[in-house]
């Protein structure tokens, strides 16, 4: 188990210490109060209010449509539930790429209106100014490199990134730049395991992988994917811990049948 299991609050410093002693960091997404409460009570280190809410909660095809107001709604719900985990919130598409002042005001809205502890932002060199400005306001920033879903229309597919040397070198340079800029951690999404291991070995800040192999400092999955609620999404890196889709489906069918057959409510289930 964790050396830090009795720590009252997971902070960015605790994550840094975990990397130093080689303890892996656990991270999952949550977008609502009830789920966040369970995940936090179970002892997760980091909760990500990801812009994957755009797909998972709202049914969009990509993460692009979700708005800052919607992210703030999800993040505030999560914050109300969590006692221990570090809560990181994605800055959604279109709220930080324009200019660094806009990026700062988006990050400030998240911190002020939700009570979360940090923000996450996709990209490297291109968004350096935004990261510097957000950090200068005392807001912890997590980076995100590799398959950055907000750039899906540039990539064209959700396949593995940085397989070629040129892109791998840019990713490594971006990772170093994010560390030097002051990011406290870095998500590495869907890149070759060897590259993720190399980046992790070169950085002092923790890396959290999703489809990036075992030699990173922690792992993140989308809660709805690992619990088998989403069915259509089945990448190689995903380990499913449950088949909640079937569980919910069968329970709903039992309920319908109980209502139709007048079995529900029974004598004890009424006043
Ligand atoms: O939005 C999200 O859920 C993410 C994770 C996949 C890392 O960014």
pLDDT, average across residues 145-157: 97
- Of all residues in the chain, the percent with pLDDT exceeding 90 is 98
Tokens 């998972």, residue located: 56
pLDDT of residue 194 exceeding 90, the answer is yes
What is the DSSP code (8-state) at residue 76?
H
pLDDT, average across residues 184-207: 98
Pocket test for ligand 1, best of 50, 89, 185 (most atoms within 8 A of CB): 50
Pocket test for ligand 1, best of 27, 29, 30 (most atoms within 8 A of CB): 29
Tokens 């907000």, residue located: 150
We report the CATH number of the domain holding residue 132 as: 3.20.20.60
pLDDT of residue 232 exceeding 90, the answer is no
Same structural domain for residues 193 and 250? no
Residue 162 pairs with which residues in a beta bridge?
A: none
Domain assignment present for residue 62? The answer is yes
Domain extent, residue 267, equals 243-271
Residues 6+ apart with CB under 8 A from 259: none
pLDDT, average across residues 182-202: 98
CB-ligand 1 contact for 50 (6 Å cutoff): yes
The first and second tokens of residue 183, run together, are: 């990011």
Pocket test for ligand 1, best of 35, 57, 78, 189 (most atoms within 8 A of CB): 189
Please tell me the distance between residue 250's alpha carbon and the centre of ligand 1 in angstroms. Answer: 29
Domain assignment present for residue 45? The answer is yes
pLDDT of residue 13 exceeding 90, the answer is yes
pLDDT, one tens digit per residue, over 74-109 is 999 999 999 999 999 999 999 999 899 999 999 999
Same structural domain for residues 236 and 251? no
Residue 204: strand, helix, or coil: coil
The whole-number pLDDT of residue 233 equals 86
Domain assignment present for residue 169? The answer is yes
Task: Report d(CA 181, CA 158) in Å as an integer.
Answer: 28
CB-ligand 1 contact for 91 (6 Å cutoff): no
pTM greater than 0.95 (yes/no): yes
pLDDT, average across residues 26-45: 98
pLDDT, average across residues 148-165: 96
Task: Report d(CA 194, CA 192) in Å as an integer.
Answer: 5
Closest CA to 135 of 190, 186, 182: 182
CB-ligand 1 contact for 181 (6 Å cutoff): no
Same structural domain for residues 265 and 143? no
Give the number of domains in the chain: 2
Domain assignment present for residue 201? The answer is yes
What is the DSSP code (8-state) at residue 125?
G
Which atom of ligand 1 is closest in space to residue 220's alpha carbon?
7
Which atom of ligand 1 is closest in space to residue 63's alpha carbon?
1
pLDDT of residue 1 exceeding 90, the answer is no
Position 25 confidence tier, pLDDT thresholds 50, 70, 90: very high
Same structural domain for residues 80 and 129? yes
Residue 69: strand, helix, or coil: helix
Same structural domain for residues 148 and 269? no
Sign of CA dihedral 87, 121, 172, 135: negative
Domain assignment present for residue 220? The answer is yes
Domain assignment present for residue 102? The answer is yes
Same structural domain for residues 267 and 196? no
Domain assignment present for residue 7? The answer is no
Burial class (CB in 10 A: 0-12, 13-18, 19+), 191: buried
Same structural domain for residues 111 and 227? yes
Catalytic residue numbers? 189
Task: Report d(CA 150, CA 164) in Å as an integer.
Answer: 21
Which atom of ligand 1 is closest in space to residue 29's alpha carbon?
3
Nearest-CA residue for ligand 1 atom 2 is 50
Nearest-5° Cα angle at 186, 183 to 190 = 155
Please tell me the distance between residue 50's alpha carbon and the centre of ligand 1 in angstroms. Answer: 5
Q: What is the mean pLDDT of the chain?
A: 97
Indicate the angle between helix axes 68-81 and 100-114, nearest 10 degrees: 30
Same structural domain for residues 265 and 214? no
Task: Report d(CA 203, CA 19) in Å as an integer.
Answer: 10
Task: Report d(CA 52, CA 212) in Å as an integer.
Answer: 18
pLDDT, one tens digit per residue, over 47-70 is 999 999 999 999 999 999 999 999
3-state helix, strand, coil in the chain (%, to 5): 45, 15, 40
pLDDT, average across residues 171-192: 98
Q: What are phi and psi of 75, to 5 degrees?
A: -65, -40
Please tell me the distance between residue 222's alpha carbon and the centre of ligand 1 in angstroms. Answer: 7
Domain assignment present for residue 4? The answer is no
Same structural domain for residues 223 and 256? no
Same structural domain for residues 136 and 95? yes
Same structural domain for residues 33 and 164? yes
Closest CA to 51 of 33, 25, 69: 69
Same structural domain for residues 271 and 171? no
């Amino acid at each position: 188990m964790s050396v830090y299991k009795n720590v009252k609050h997971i902070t960015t410093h605790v994550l840094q210490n975990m990397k130093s002693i080689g303890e892996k960091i656990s991270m999952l997404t949550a977008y609502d109060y009830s789920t966040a409460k369970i995940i936090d009570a179970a002892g997760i280190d980091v909760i990500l209010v990801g812009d994957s809410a755009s797909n998972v909660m709202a049914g969009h095809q990509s993460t692009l449509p979700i708005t800052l107001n919607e992210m703030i709604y999800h993040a505030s719900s999560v914050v109300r539930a969590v006692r221990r985990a570090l809560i990181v919130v994605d800055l959604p598409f279109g709220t930080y790429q324009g200019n660094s002042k806009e990026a700062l005001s988006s990050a400030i809205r998240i911190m002020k209106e939700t009570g979360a502890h940090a923000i996450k932002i996709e990209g490297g060199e291109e968004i350096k100014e935004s990261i510097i400005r957000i950090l200068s306001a005392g807001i912890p920033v997590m980076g995100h490199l590799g398959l950055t879903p907000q750039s899906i229309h540039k990539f064209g597919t959700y396949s593995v990134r940085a397989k070629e040397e040129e892109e791998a070198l840019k990713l490594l340079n971006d990772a170093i730049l994010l560390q030097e800029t002051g990011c406290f951690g870095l998500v590495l999404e869907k890149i070759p395991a060897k590259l993720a291991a190399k980046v992790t070995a070169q950085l002092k800040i923790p890396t959290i992988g999703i489809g990036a192999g075992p030699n990173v400092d922690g792992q993140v999955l989308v809660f709805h994917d690992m619990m088998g609620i989403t069915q259509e999404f089945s990448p190689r890196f995903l380990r499913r811990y449950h088949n909640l889709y079937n569980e919910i489906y069968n329970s709903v069918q039992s309920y319908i049948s109980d209502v139709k057959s007048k079995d529900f409510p029974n004598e004890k289930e009424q006043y």
